[in-house]
Structure 1
């Protein structure tokens, strides 16, 4: 039996080409089971001056909306902008054929906000920075979508 030499390379520098290669390899493997049609979804809100005051970064794929980031400028928080962005992202996801949405948030962030919007906790992991808990939430987008079993 031939012995192969393998090398693990460790880096703290982002390499877009490597990331894209690894992602494409994983998607090629996953496509054997179901076509991978991951599409970015970006929403921004701007003030009259044109500066971005809020934004949401997400992806849609395999019938799901994956909300990755939601940010509202501090002076515009608690005015309904986050709700508007989430609702618009959900509407676009439904138009793209999605039936569920999911996201995560930390204990010091917006757990209650997402719960008010109908998201239910399906998992949590404590110990971030030795003090925070990360919550994983999901929401059915259609009335006939499978319901989320809450912890």
Structure 2
């Protein structure tokens, strides 16, 4: 099952809810209206991972959304997958997914950004690429 951009948002909110995050009215309404609630969160997560592994998400935008949604699972077992995905995005020189993966790793308490960095923005392309390379070399 290939998820749409909106479904990635739904999945992220479902994962957050499963982890006990507080949601406002918007997030609650998205979850309430979602057909994805019929799928167990663990199966939803596995579906997204399988899609990434099988190249179902060929578009950069879709992969970026998938990385973001999976980061909301708080599943540190995904770190090794994120490392593989980071290598791929670096080899293809895709700055937006690189940044999203760095954010996900940071969310999992991985030292993905240089410790002296004071900003974290998607358009800090050179810094994000530098940090991604350093992270992979040291982890």
- TM-score after normalising by structure 1: 0.28
Q: TM-score, normalised by structure 2?
A: 0.30
Flag the structure with higher helix content: 2
The structure whose Rg is larger is 1
Bigger fraction of residues in strand:
1
